[in-house]
Amino acid sequence: MFNIFKNIMKKDINRQKISTHRILNTDIYKELEEGEESILFGCGCFWGAEKCFWKLPGVVTTSVGYAGGNFKNPSYEDVCGGYTGHAEVVKVIWEIDKIDISDLLKMFWECHNPTQKNRQGNDVGTQYRSAIFYRNEKYKDIIFNSKINYQKSLKEDDFGEIETEIRKEIEYYFAEDYHQQYLAVKGSRQYCSAAPTNIKLKDFDGSNYKLNQTVWDTFDWTIDKCVLRSDNYPIELK
């Protein structure tokens, strides 16, 4: 992805300062309000991953950035250098009465291949690792329960061990403006390296799905790069 990014920079695509989500029209830097929660997901290249989450009903805003390392205020070039310890992540803020953490975990596990270590598809490096960094301790057990459930389903289909890093969020650094909602930028390179397993997350201990099946029917992971083939707008509940 880094070589693609260098070519994009030469074209100087949409580098103005932004704070409003290009699709949801919400503040990507907003503080949590009552009835909202946040979490960080690492699913490989954050361009395609962010679109997966912003399309879900009940998501207030999303942004992309870096987390999981000890290098302060990293740039994209720093992270791609492999010495920061950071992963590319998507920050998701959601309304807890409209969408459950279970729904977000379903999207997380299904939108990439968590058995790939320090890579996702053609993108190789620790910055592309699978990761969940949670803010609220109350979600810890639910996250690990979902992992156990998904691991069982993966093994039934001959996939290996899950390599996802799961821990309490340390610090999140916003990525550069030109990365925010990148796939919604006119003229952007429609790129996604994710390689989903096409294994579904089932009910698990603590799950409380709120989104109906019509939402999940939008994502056909058997189709290569299916997230790139959909429009940019949030899914409307029927």
Which stretches of the chain are assigned E, i.e. beta strand? 36-43, 59-67, 87-95, 119-120, 123-124, 130-134, 165-168, 172-174
Over the stretch 57-103, which tens digit does the pLDDT of each residue have? 999 999 999 999 999 999 999 999 999 999 999 999 999 999 999 99
- pLDDT at position 15 is 39
For residue 191, what pLDDT is reported? 82
Indicate the average pLDDT of the chain: 92
pTM here?
Answer: 0.92
pLDDT the model gives residue 8: 43
The pLDDT tens digits for 98-122 are 999 999 999 999 999 999 999 999 9
- Residue 189 binned pLDDT confidence (cut-offs 50, 70, 90): confident
| Angle between helices 101-110 and 140-156 in degrees, nearest 10 | 40
Tell me: the pLDDT tens digits for 202-214?
Answer: 999 999 999 999 9
Percent of the chain with pLDDT over 90: 82
Instruction: Give residue 17's pLDDT band: very low, low, confident or very high (50, 70, 90).
Output: low
Q: How confident is the model at residue 193 (pLDDT cuts 50, 70, 90)?
A: confident
| Residue 73: φ, ψ to 5° | 50, 55
Q: Residue ranges per domain, the chain?
A: 2-216
Structure confidence at residue 1 (pLDDT): 57
Q: Is the pLDDT of residue 7 over 80?
A: no
Q: Label residue 9 by pLDDT band (50, 70, 90).
A: very low
pLDDT at 96: 98
What's the confidence (pLDDT) of residue 156? 98
Catalytically active residues, by annotation: 45
Rounded (5°) CA angle 159-121-198: 45
Q: Domain 2-216 has what CATH class? A: alpha beta
CA dihedral 181, 100, 193, 222 (to 10 degrees): -130
